[in-house]
Structure 1
Amino acid sequence: MGWISNDNQHEGWAAAVAPDGRLSASSTGKGMLVKGITGHYKPDKMLPDYEVIPDSEIIGWRGACECGWQGELWERVSSPAAADLSRRRDYLSPDDLAHASSEVENAIHDEWKAHLAPLEVAAGVEAAAREYNQAGHRLDKTVAAAKAAGASWADIGRAVGISRQSAHERWADKL
Structure 2
Amino acid sequence: MGWTSNDYNHEGWVAFGAPDGRLSRSSTGAGILFHGITGEYPPAGEFDPNQEIVPDDLIMSWRGACTCGWQGELWHRVASAAEADIATRKEYVPVGDTADVSGEVEDAIQQEWHVHIAPSEAILGVEAAAREHRQAANRLDKTVSAAKAAGASWADIGRAAGITRQAAHERWADK
Q: Map 1:31-70 to 2 at 5 A.
A: 31-44=31-44, 45-70=46-71
User: Which 4+ runs in 1 deviate beyond 4 A?
Assistant: none
Residue 143 of structure 1 aligns with an amino acid whose one-letter code is: V
Identity percentage over the alignment?
64
SS of the residue corresponding to residue 27 of structure 1 reads strand
Contact 2:14 2:25 in 1 (8 A): no
Does 1:166 pair with 2:158? no
Partner of 2:107: 106
* Bigger Cα displacement from structure 2, 15-24 vs 77-86: 77-86
Aligned mates of 1:38, 1:142 — CA distance in 2? 69
User: 1:94: how far off?
Assistant: 2.4
Q: Deviations over 1:29-63 (max 9, x none)?
A: 11111222333322212222222111111111111
CA distance in 2, matches of 1:146, 1:49: 68
Which amino acid is 1:19 matched to? P
Q: RMSD over aligned Cα, in angstroms?
A: 1.7
Distance 1:122 1:33 in 2: 35
User: 1-side partners of 2:169 and 2:36: how far apart?
Assistant: 66
Task: Report the TM-score when normalising by structure 2.
Answer: 0.90
- Distance in 1, Cα, partners of 2:25 & 2:134: 41
Runs (5+) with no aligned partner, structure 1: none
| 1:125 corresponds to | 126
| Structure 1 residue aligned with 2:20 | 20
Q: CA deviation at 1:133?
A: 1.2
Worse-matched range after superposition: 32-41 or 124-133: 32-41
Which segment is superposed worse, 90-99 or 122-131? Answer: 90-99
Task: Report if aligned partners of 2:15, 2:63 keep a CA contact under 8 Å in 1.
Answer: yes
Q: Is it true that 1:94 corresponds to 2:95 in the alignment? A: yes
Amino acid across the alignment from 2:107: N
Q: CA deviation at 1:136?
A: 0.9
Deviation at 1:143? 1.5
What pairs up with 1:61-80 in 2 under 5 angstroms?
Answer: 61-80=62-81
CA 144–38 in structure 1, closer or farther in 2 if over 3 Å, else same: farther
Q: 1 CA distance for matches of 2:113 and 2:83?
A: 25
Q: Aligned partners of 1:57, 1:42: CA distance in 2, in Å?
A: 13
